[in-house]
Structure 1
Amino acid sequence: MTMIFQANQASGLPTPTWIVPGLQAEFLGNTSSLRNAGPNVFYVHVTSSGFSIWTSLTSLLQSKKPALNPDFLRHHLRFGETATHSTAWRDIYQLIPGAILSLGAGVCSWRFEPWAREERDSETAGHPGTLLENVLSASPGAVVLELSGGVDSTAIAYSLSGRSDVEAITWADPDAPDASDVGHARRIAGKLGFEHRVAPVSPEALFVIPEQFEPDRPSVSLFMMAERDRFVRDVIGNRADVVVVNGHGGDHIFLDPPSPIPMLDLLACGRFREALHYYRALVEFHGAGVLAPLRYRHVGRGIGRASLSLGPGKRLHRRLIRQACYENAIWSRLGTPYKVIHPFTCPSMLNYALSIKPHEYVGKGTSRLPFRMAMNDYHGTEDHSRVSKGHLTGVFQKAIGLKQGILAAVLEQGVGAKFSMYRVDEMQRALKAAAFGSTDIHPRLMNALSLELFIQHWSRLSGMPRWQLDT
């Protein structure tokens, strides 16, 4: 049963009441509050007469066939992935684990603070090495570790050391099997005694969304999901007790990627030289002029309550943490048969990350420095070091080259073009540049492609030639 509750059935029910395990509703006059205390993602279809709650997005969209949400789609094209209760469809909202959705007369609001779900009850619980071990010790059965070779996956690898049931996988560009991070991952796996596979990513398999997947928003993460799922299935075979572990979210909770906001913290502390040095590094990172980093001032707009603060870096930090937890809650439930664990977005690790002040470390080159130092000291090693990544860029360039004609047609005939969400000529130039091996793939191009492929996926599954868009 996919439609599990309707608001007009609520008369006579006590308030608050548990609708299904993990989902609590409270009715106060014309206002309803839904709290997700369980592990599942729910979808709420809101109408003038009330609301319905669904557990399957596929069944909801096949039966309701709602209009697209233009505000959400334009926001995605402009900023990429940001955490929100809105979805790509009008009047359909998502309720992820740990979130509260409040519905009133024409108003919908969302609260999501995953770090508040757990209290730190001892000083030892605050050490990141202990926290990671505690999360992973509760994982029964064999473990498949997605070992990228970066700091986060290396930390998880060390926290799994001593286990004999760990198999590590490292994704690689078939033309660069010895990239620095792949080599680092291979060395770490050998040192810890893990069986290790280097999995070359096939360019032909990118930009494909498997039919069993239920993504609820456009995302560039979709481009590699089919390959990732194939590799994991090859490893686990028919075993049902296997868990997949990765370090996704670590870059967010330690305030990466580079943002101009910590620079304001440096200025507020009177550290003007470091602020200037940090901003120069941002300009070099973004590579599009001295004003390019300022576009990140809008990261997370609409997430949390808008208010003045003397700690803008910490405010952005919380927004990035929400984003990491949001992504993990969604992408772990695409329809894969195995369980995925993200240790960096467990509440205890989030509380550790929130205890770090970004402005105290950006002047030293990275806000992840205290974590790296703590892990190296804990394990008596220097393996938690900065390793350059990005070796899969070449795979995406090759995939774009192989499918340039198809992708060009998708952009020209898609929803974004029809409703002027992007300039087709601009996207075609960016596509051509990427196909001919440009070292920089335009982020807006990737966002546009994710939008169009996402809509194509759901049109195919719902039996519609084209989704309608109310303008």
Structure 2
Amino acid sequence: MTRIFNAEYGSAAAQTPLEIVPGLQVRLLRDRAILANVGPDVFYVRAASAGFSIWTSLKQLLKSMRPALNPGYLRHHLQFGEMATHATAWRNVHQLVPNAALTLNAGSWSWRFEPWRQAGCRNGSFEHPAILLKQAIPVSAAPVVLELSGGTDSTAIAYALAGRHDVLAITWADPLAPNASDVEHARRIAGKLGFEHRVAVLSPGALFDLPAQFEPDRPSVSLFMLAERDRLVRNAIDGRTNAMVVNGHGGDHIFLDPPSPVPMLDLLFHGRVREALKYYRTLVEFHGGGVLAPLRYRRVGQGIGRNSLSLTPGKRLHLRLIQQACYENAIWSRLGSRYRLVHPFTCPAMLNYALSIAPHEHVGQRQSRLPFRKAMNDYHQTEDFSRVSKGHLTGAFQRAIQLKEDILAALLKQGIGAEYKMYRVDDMQRALRAAALGSAEIHPQLMNALSLELFMQHWSHLSGVARWRIDS
């Protein structure tokens, strides 16, 4: 049993925080409880009308309590995909990630998660981003595996590791495009910096598989590649338990890439209406889902922090995107990996640097995150950070869908989403067929629906529950 604390609201009022386990503090007040996680672990909190319990294992919580499903969370996931929130797929079960605080009472709850406000970080005073990245990677004798995609973020991490002699760079590749431009760029960067480099070719047949030892907290498209990525990393570290795996995950969020409506909102705020409309048109073309498609990003991170009006809506959305990146890293780093994961872009100092850049100032200059690219090129006296386009792994996922089309079609037809009419089965089946036939773009709602059904199937197997319930 991994329940570590149980209390009723107001049962033992104490203003002084009580440390339950290292890093987890609880304050019990007259009508509420305040939980703060200042450590490195993730905790799970089950709230009830009379009190709450805290768990270290989601698997054990679900086996013991078998909570009902949270339909609001699931519907939001199907519409908007991954999101940062204290809620989970199960009703009245909350996540408490590092650097977050959760306030509970008998009828409501709220969550605070602002990682850029950690102690020691001050707005307005920054080191160079190249220095910040280098400082964010722990100095240790452990061998380093660098996930080097060939994009701006992983290239920046590669330069931050320059001078180390124990770095193995790995680049994921589509089996039908092992020499794509981003792979070739990654190979060149690794050679320039003196790193050993391997091209790790994905196996489409292994995508959509979830390893039994993983205990994911929520549906996510990231689940689709989790088993294959873990296998390739473990092959690279060759059984060494002290290995450190470093990647640039989070940079696309903190520097507003892929395109989001953040710059458009700030352009409007600064009265640059013509530029805002032109930029929004480029967003519609990028997302390819109609004129309202870019507005789906307005809901990213819903439920974080205080709900209030903002005179700078672009900056508020930027904060939510940063929260999303930090949240993802906090969760995905703790799914049973047998190695240490480091995400330098979401260290507090880098977050504050990203927040210092006005989102709208460089719109229309044909390079996203221009201030960061320019700063890195100038610092390292190179043009390696000037690349804009990068290949992707859509082809590998299309072949995975081709190989498993019948299985995935049955999953969509018989799954939780279909049973509770969260999506139209016919629409999902058409989108699945189009992807199997090689459509240029896989429908995002299909990917969200598949992630939901695979997630619920995985937890049914882990918990021994034939069918999770919506009603309590």
| TM surpasses 0.5 | yes
Q: Which residue of 1 aligns with 2:2?
A: 2
Q: Which amino acid is the alignment partner of residue 442 of structure 2?
A: I
Question: For the residues of structure 2 that align with 1:245 and 1:280, how far apart are their CA atoms?
Answer: 36
- Deviation string for 1:383-408 (max 9, x for gaps)? 01234234210000000011000000
- SS of the aligned residue for 2:364 comes to helix
Q: Which amino acid is the alignment partner of residue 296 of structure 1?
A: Y
Question: For the residues of structure 1 that align with 2:302 and 2:240, how far apart are their CA atoms?
Answer: 43
Q: Which residue of 2 aligns with 1:79?
A: 80
Question: For the residues of structure 2 that align with 1:449 and 1:155, how far apart are their CA atoms?
Answer: 33
**Runs (5+) with no aligned partner, structure 1:** none
* Cα distance change of structure 1 residues 430 and 275 upon mapping to structure 2, 3 Å threshold: same
- SS of the aligned residue for 1:337 comes to coil
Question: For the residues of structure 2 that align with 1:88 and 1:322, how far apart are their CA atoms?
Answer: 19
Matches within 5 A, 1:287-326: 287-326=288-327
Q: Which amino acid is the alignment partner of residue 156 of structure 1?
A: I
* Matched-pair contact (CA < 8 Å) for 2:51–2:106: no
Q: Which residue of 1 aligns with 2:340?
A: 339
* Matched-pair contact (CA < 8 Å) for 1:118–1:348: no
* Matched-pair contact (CA < 8 Å) for 1:139–1:243: no
Matches within 5 A, 1:321-470: 321-470=322-471
Matches within 5 A, 1:275-290: 275-290=276-291
Alpha-carbon deviation of 1:157? 0.0
* Cα distance change of structure 1 residues 12 and 305 upon mapping to structure 2, 3 Å threshold: closer
Matches within 5 A, 1:142-221: 142-221=143-222
- SS of the aligned residue for 1:38 comes to coil
Question: For the residues of structure 2 that align with 1:148 and 1:351, how far apart are their CA atoms?
Answer: 25
Q: Which residue of 2 aligns with 1:270?
A: 271
Alpha-carbon deviation of 1:308? 2.2
* Matched-pair contact (CA < 8 Å) for 1:7–1:51: yes
Question: For the residues of structure 2 that align with 1:102 and 1:277, how far apart are their CA atoms?
Answer: 43
* Cα distance change of structure 1 residues 209 and 122 upon mapping to structure 2, 3 Å threshold: closer
Question: Please, which moves more after superposition, 290-299 or 279-288?
Answer: 290-299
Matches within 5 A, 1:96-115: 96-115=97-116
Matches within 5 A, 1:130-145: 130-145=131-146
Question: Please, which moves more after superposition, 457-466 or 257-266?
Answer: 257-266
Q: Which residue of 1 aligns with 2:23?
A: 22
Question: For the residues of structure 2 that align with 1:437 and 1:294, how far apart are their CA atoms?
Answer: 27
Alpha-carbon deviation of 1:446? 0.2
The answer to whether structure 1 residue 58 and structure 2 residue 59 are counterparts is: yes
* Matched-pair contact (CA < 8 Å) for 1:85–1:93: yes
Question: For the residues of structure 1 that align with 2:80 and 2:228, how far apart are their CA atoms?
Answer: 26
* Matched-pair contact (CA < 8 Å) for 2:148–2:171: yes
Question: For the residues of structure 2 that align with 1:289 and 1:64, how far apart are their CA atoms?
Answer: 43
Alpha-carbon deviation of 1:118? 3.4
- SS of the aligned residue for 1:15 comes to strand
Alpha-carbon deviation of 1:12? 7.7
Question: For the residues of structure 1 that align with 2:275 and 2:189, how far apart are their CA atoms?
Answer: 34
- Deviation string for 1:227-256 (max 9, x for gaps)? 110011111122122110000000000122
- SS of the aligned residue for 1:384 comes to coil
- SS of the aligned residue for 1:126 comes to coil
Question: Please, which moves more after superposition, 58-67 or 221-230?
Answer: 58-67
Q: Which residue of 1 aligns with 2:241?
A: 240
Question: For the residues of structure 1 that align with 2:278 and 2:14, how far apart are their CA atoms?
Answer: 60
Question: Please, which moves more after superposition, 196-205 or 119-128?
Answer: 119-128
TM-score, normalisation: structure 1: 0.96
* Matched-pair contact (CA < 8 Å) for 1:149–1:387: no
Question: For the residues of structure 1 that align with 2:171 and 2:187, how far apart are their CA atoms?
Answer: 8
- Deviation string for 1:393-442 (max 9, x for gaps)? 00000000110000000000000000000000000000000000001100
Question: For the residues of structure 2 that align with 1:292 and 1:86, how far apart are their CA atoms?
Answer: 25
Question: For the residues of structure 1 that align with 2:35 and 2:124, how far apart are their CA atoms?
Answer: 34
* Cα distance change of structure 1 residues 105 and 137 upon mapping to structure 2, 3 Å threshold: closer
* Matched-pair contact (CA < 8 Å) for 2:262–2:359: no
% identical equivalent positions: 70
Alpha-carbon deviation of 1:17? 1.1
- SS of the aligned residue for 2:222 comes to helix
* Matched-pair contact (CA < 8 Å) for 1:173–1:395: yes
Question: For the residues of structure 2 that align with 1:7 and 1:262, how far apart are their CA atoms?
Answer: 46
- Deviation string for 1:304-336 (max 9, x for gaps)? 322222211111000000000000000000011
* Matched-pair contact (CA < 8 Å) for 1:42–1:55: yes
Question: Please, which moves more after superposition, 224-233 or 8-17?
Answer: 8-17
Q: Which amino acid is the alignment partner of residue 345 of structure 2?
A: F
Q: Which residue of 1 aligns with 2:253?
A: 252
Question: For the residues of structure 2 that align with 1:443 and 1:122, how far apart are their CA atoms?
Answer: 36
Q: How many residues align?
A: 471
* Cα distance change of structure 1 residues 286 and 399 upon mapping to structure 2, 3 Å threshold: same
Question: For the residues of structure 2 that align with 1:273 and 1:116, how far apart are their CA atoms?
Answer: 35
* Matched-pair contact (CA < 8 Å) for 1:213–1:334: yes
- Deviation string for 1:50-99 (max 9, x for gaps)? 11111111111111111111111011001111100000001110000000
* Cα distance change of structure 1 residues 391 and 12 upon mapping to structure 2, 3 Å threshold: closer
Question: Please, which moves more after superposition, 36-45 or 388-397?
Answer: 388-397
Question: Please, which moves more after superposition, 368-377 or 417-426?
Answer: 368-377
Question: For the residues of structure 2 that align with 1:165 and 1:125, how far apart are their CA atoms?
Answer: 29
* Cα distance change of structure 1 residues 463 and 98 upon mapping to structure 2, 3 Å threshold: same
- SS of the aligned residue for 1:16 comes to strand
Question: For the residues of structure 1 that align with 2:141 and 2:460, how far apart are their CA atoms?
Answer: 38
Question: For the residues of structure 1 that align with 2:38 and 2:239, how far apart are their CA atoms?
Answer: 31
